[in-house]
């Protein structure tokens, strides 16, 4: 992972690019590293590797672990552990990604794109720095809830995740989310995943759930956990259609994130209520003119 001429992640990314161009077989890559998991998890995943092995290497189990992994490498589904809600699974002494990237070079230009909406400039800078440190994410920052829907429209909703501060001065996160959900419903669009950034008071949580957000990250932010948490969440979000129970039962913990399981009917009712109220307000405004 930390070789002098070329890092293992850079070498793997080069190989994956060649495989994609040539239509070649996807060769399994396993990183060996002595760095802490929270530092290397998203960097290794975004390089296209299949997993990693922590140093010092357990020589007694490495052969059996590799044999078990190679029996079913991409994605690894060789045991009941792989059906859990995590983005990784243990295969002996290996940590294996269940959703490895086959062409990370092309994905870096469009995936994942994170829209951060927070009126505290320091928070925007902190999150941007943490998520872009290893080139793993593209971050777009806005400082007011009123800018959220307009930004998504400008980007044609090609955003993988929205991190939305709840307590903004002008338009708060819940109101901005309701506007987004109403627009998505009106145009028959799939829901964009939205996670709240909040101090986690009970009143905040009730309002966040009703607005249609998918979970919340509690402030103060744990910057060490944010990248790996977002990676795991995006893997779960990608898999939600085949396994809808993944996203909370009725709420579950994932790293520094609390996920909500909202009955679809309640979300639709909340969206309809907001749309009706918004239309009524527009009608009154036109009459006033």
CB 251 within 8 A of CB 261: yes
Length of the chain: 289
Res 2 pLDDT > 60: no
Res 81 pLDDT > 80: no
Higher-confidence residue: 102 or 131? 131
Give the tens place of pLDDT for each residue, 90-125. 899 999 987 787 777 665 555 588 999 999 988 888
CB 127 within 8 A of CB 159: no
Closest CA to 116 of 88, 84, 138: 138
Q: Which pLDDT score, from 0 to 100, does residue 6 have?
A: 67
Q: Which pLDDT score, from 0 to 100, does residue 201 have?
A: 65
Mean pLDDT computed over every residue of the chain: 78
Structure tokens at 203: 């009143």
Q: What dihedral angle (degrees, nearest 10) is formed by the CA atoms of 146, 220, 136, 232?
A: -100
pLDDT band at 264 (very low <50, low <70, confident <90, very high): very low
Q: What dihedral angle (degrees, nearest 10) is formed by the CA atoms of 78, 30, 44, 73?
A: -30
Give the tens place of pLDDT for each residue, 178-229. 999 999 999 999 999 999 998 866 667 888 988 999 989 988 888 888 887 8
Residue 173, classed as helix, strand or coil, is helix
Higher-confidence residue: 57 or 174? 174
Q: Which pLDDT score, from 0 to 100, does residue 199 have?
A: 81
Give the tens place of pLDDT for each residue, 56-77. 888 889 999 999 999 876 554 4
pLDDT band at 267 (very low <50, low <70, confident <90, very high): very low
CA 204 to chain centre: 22
Instruction: Specify the residue for token string 């809808």.
Output: 244
Give the tens place of pLDDT for each residue, 11-59. 898 898 898 888 888 889 999 988 877 667 777 887 888 999 988 888 8
Q: Which pLDDT score, from 0 to 100, does residue 107 have?
A: 56
Structure tokens at 147: 């800018």
Q: Which pLDDT score, from 0 to 100, does residue 3 have?
A: 62
DSSP letters, 45-90, are HHTT--EEEESSP-TTTHHHHHHHHHTSTTTT-SSGGGGSSSSEEE
């Amino acid at each position: 992972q930390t070789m002098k001429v070329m890092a293992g992640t850079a070498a793997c990314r080069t190989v994956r690019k060649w495989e994609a161009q040539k239509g070649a077989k996807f060769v399994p890559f396993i990183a060996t590293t002595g760095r802490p998991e929270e530092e290397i998890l998203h960097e290794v995943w975004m390089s296209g590797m299949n997993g990693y092995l922590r140093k010092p290497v357990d020589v007694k189990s490495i052969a059996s672990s590799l044999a078990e992994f190679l029996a079913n490498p991409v994605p690894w589904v060789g045991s009941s552990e792989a059906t859990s809600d995590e983005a990784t699974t243990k295969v002996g002494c290996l940590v294996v990604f269940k959703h490895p990237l086959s062409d990370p070079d092309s994905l870096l230009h469009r995936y994942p794109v994170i829209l951060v909406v927070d009126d505290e400039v320091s928070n925007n800078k902190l999150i941007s720095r943490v998520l872009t440190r290893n080139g793993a994410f593209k971050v777009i920052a806005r400082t007011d809830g009123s800018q959220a829907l307009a930004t998504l429209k400008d980007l044609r909703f090609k955003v993988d995740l929205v991190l939305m501060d709840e307590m903004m001065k002008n338009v708060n996160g819940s109101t901005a989310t309701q506007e987004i959900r109403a627009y998505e419903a009106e145009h028959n669009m799939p829901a964009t995943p939205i996670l709240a950034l909040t101090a986690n008071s009970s009143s905040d949580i009730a309002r966040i759930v009703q607005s249609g957000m998918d979970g919340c990250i509690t402030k103060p932010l744990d910057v060490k956990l944010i990248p790996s948490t977002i990676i795991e969440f995006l893997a779960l979000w990608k898999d939600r259609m085949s396994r809808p129970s993944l996203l909370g039962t009725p709420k579950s913990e994932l790293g520094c994130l609390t996920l909500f399981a909202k009955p679809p009917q309640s979300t639709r009712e909340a969206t309809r209520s907001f749309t009706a109220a918004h239309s009524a307000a527009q009608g009154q405004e036109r009459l006033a003119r």
